[in-house]
């Protein structure tokens, strides 16, 4: 990928929360970039720092959060972390927008959805509600809401969960953003609805060429949607690569562990699900070496002594491990 295609670049992002027990390192030196028209999945367990990363891009973390000095989130060459509020306000909802996990609590219960979708258009394009209406109807049709003209006056509680998430997507796309951050967009929905929403997102991506940062803990969603995968573990990106490589030939034991803990239909009932033993390390007291050391079956003394460096391998795959798994060849079917 050439530099010109890169729209977002996160460089050595470190973020921590001060607590009474000490500093909680939520995100610890992560680097990644998102290219134009790409769907990047950020995968990890709860508490791995996925959401903090996403909210850092939006500038929506709790005000108590502290970013380390050399942290940089560069959007089209401008640092979002140090940007003035007035300037950031013009990017939020206009060029970068976000959808959230729970569409019911993320929509204002006292405002008709038409008003809520029109709001970013009114704000960023200086239009009146009346002149934004046409675009709102178009957006609702785009996300697959039937008879959108009749829905403008509906309140969130009158819609189903899937419809609400469609409304959220319509709202996020209102100003034709270049980057959409989707923070677990399907987690709160039924499985059948999940598939529909993912379809909507994928179709919209094809039609508009938008880049998507998809945050999820669901590897099924990743396989279905993503071009590239970032695997996060206790505040660090432990492995990165394109989706086929990661699924076929993971190099980091944690990625392997995540893949193993997905139930498979083939041979159901024969094997027990392989869970990763142990728990995520306490973010107040991270180990010296590799964070995954205590849970890893490949660990050696080296792992507890020093954190592994990031190794680049072919096929745009990167990983941080002293004992990477064997690279599988000829696995593509």
Partner 1 sequence: MFFRFLLRRIFYVIPMLLITTLIVFSLILLIPGDPALALLGDNATAEKLAALRAQLGLDQPIIMQYWHWLTNAIQGDLGRSLFTGEYVSDAVFTRLGVTFQVVAMAMIFSFAFGLLFAITSVIKPNSWMDYIARFFGVLGTAIPNFWLAMILVVLFSVHLGWLPATGFTSISDHPVDFMKSVLLPSFCLGSFGAAQITRQLRSSLIEVLESDYIRTAYSKGLLLWQVIWKHGLRNALLPVVTTAGLLFGNMLGATVVIESVFAIPGMGQLAVHSILQRDFPMLQGVVLIMVLMILIINFITDVIYGVLDPRIEFE
**Per CB under 8 A, 193 contacts partner 1:** no
Q: In angstroms, what is the minimal distance from the CB of 164 to partner 1?
A: 11
**Per CB under 8 A, 64 contacts partner 1:** no
**Per CB under 8 A, 56 contacts partner 1:** no
Helices (H), 107-216: 113-125, 129-142, 148-151, 161-173, 191-208
Segment near partner 1 (CB under 8 A); pick from 107-115, 187-195, 290-298, 314-322: 107-115
Q: In angstroms, what is the minimal distance from the CB of 50 to partner 1?
A: 16
Strand partners, 18: 23
Q: DSSP labels for 255-304? A: HHHHHHTS--STTTTTS---PPPS-PPPTTS--SS-TTGGG-TT--HHHH
126 burial (CB, 10 Å; 0-12 / 13-18 / 19+) is exposed
Pairwise CA distance, residues 278 & 29, whole Å: 24
Task: State which of positions 150-169 bind partner 1 (CB under 8 A).
Answer: 155, 157, 168
- 134's tokens: 């046409």
Judged by phi (left if over 0) then psi (alpha if -120 to 50, else beta), residue 129 lies in: alpha
Pairwise CA distance, residues 181 & 57, whole Å: 9
130 vs 332 by CB, closer to partner 1: 130
78 vs 261 by CB, closer to partner 1: 78
Pairwise CA distance, residues 101 & 184, whole Å: 5
* 110-139 footprint of partner 1 as x/- string (CB under 8 A): xx-------xx--xx---------------
With a CB cutoff of 8 Å and minimum separation 6, the contacts of 187 are 101, 216, 217, 218
**Per CB under 8 A, 93 contacts partner 1:** yes
Segment near partner 1 (CB under 8 A); pick from 91-99, 133-141, 268-276, 323-331: 91-99
Task: Choose, by CB under 8 A, the member of 32, 75, 100, 233 that binds partner 1.
Answer: 100
**Per CB under 8 A, 19 contacts partner 1:** no
Task: Choose, by CB under 8 A, the member of 13, 26, 27, 107 that binds partner 1.
Answer: 107
Segment near partner 1 (CB under 8 A); pick from 39-47, 88-96, 136-144, 324-332: 88-96
Task: State which of positions 199-238 bind partner 1 (CB under 8 A).
Answer: none
- 147's tokens: 């008879």
Segment near partner 1 (CB under 8 A); pick from 73-81, 103-111, 261-269, 301-309: 103-111
Task: Choose, by CB under 8 A, the member of 9, 48, 56, 94 that binds partner 1.
Answer: 94
101 vs 234 by CB, closer to partner 1: 101
Segment near partner 1 (CB under 8 A); pick from 84-92, 135-143, 221-229, 294-302: 84-92
| Closest of 179, 202, 176, 199 to residue 189, by C-alpha | 199
Q: In angstroms, what is the minimal distance from the CB of 107 to partner 1?
A: 6
102 vs 227 by CB, closer to partner 1: 102
Pairwise CA distance, residues 186 & 3, whole Å: 32
Q: Are 147 and 208 in contact (CB under 8 A)?
A: no
Q: Are 145 and 167 in contact (CB under 8 A)?
A: yes
Helix, strand, coil share of the chain (percent; to 5) = 35, 25, 40
Q: Which residues bind partner 1 (CB under 8 A)?
A: 58, 60, 85, 89-94, 97-98, 100, 102, 105-111, 119-120, 123-124, 155, 157, 168, 171
């Amino acid at each position: 990928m050439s530099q010109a295609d890169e729209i977002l670049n996160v460089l050595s992002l470190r973020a921590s929360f001060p607590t009474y027990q000490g500093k909680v390192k939520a995100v610890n030196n992560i680097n990644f970039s998102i290219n134009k028209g790409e769907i990047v999945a950020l995968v990890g367990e709860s508490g791995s720092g996925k959401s903090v990363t996403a909210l850092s891009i939006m500038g929506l973390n709790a005000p108590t959060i502290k970013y380390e000095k050399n942290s940089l989130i560069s959007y089209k060459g401008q640092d979002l972390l140090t940007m003035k509020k007035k300037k950031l306000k013009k990017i939020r909802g206009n060029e970068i927008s976000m959808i959230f996990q729970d569409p019911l609590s993320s929509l204002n219960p006292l405002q008709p959805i038409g008003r809520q979708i029109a709001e970013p258009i009114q704000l960023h394009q200086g239009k009146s509600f009346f002149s934004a209406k046409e675009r709102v109807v178009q957006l609702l049709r785009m996300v697959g809401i039937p008879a959108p003209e009749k829905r403008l006056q509906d309140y969130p509680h009158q819609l189903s969960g899937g419809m609400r998430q469609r409304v959220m997507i319509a709202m996020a796309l209102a100003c034709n953003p270049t980057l959409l951050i989707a923070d677990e967009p399907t987690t709160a929905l039924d499985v059948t609805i999940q598939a529909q929403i993912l379809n909507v997102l994928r179709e919209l991506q094809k039609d508009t060429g938008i880049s998507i940062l998809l945050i999820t803990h669901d590897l099924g969603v990743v396989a279905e949607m993503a071009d590239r995968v970032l695997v996060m573990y206790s505040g660090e990106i432990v492995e990165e690569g394109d989706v086929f490589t990661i699924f076929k030939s993971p190099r980091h034991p944690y990625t392997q562990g995540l893949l193993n803990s997905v139930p498979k239909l083939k041979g159901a009932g024969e094997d027990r699900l392989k869970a990763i033993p142990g728990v995520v390390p306490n973010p107040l007291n991270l180990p010296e070496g590799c964070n995954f050391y205590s849970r890893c079956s490949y660990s050696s003394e080296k792992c507890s002594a020093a954190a592994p460096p990031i190794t680049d391998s072919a096929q745009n795959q990167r990983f941080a491990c002293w004992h990477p798994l064997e690279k599988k060849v000829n696995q593509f079917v």
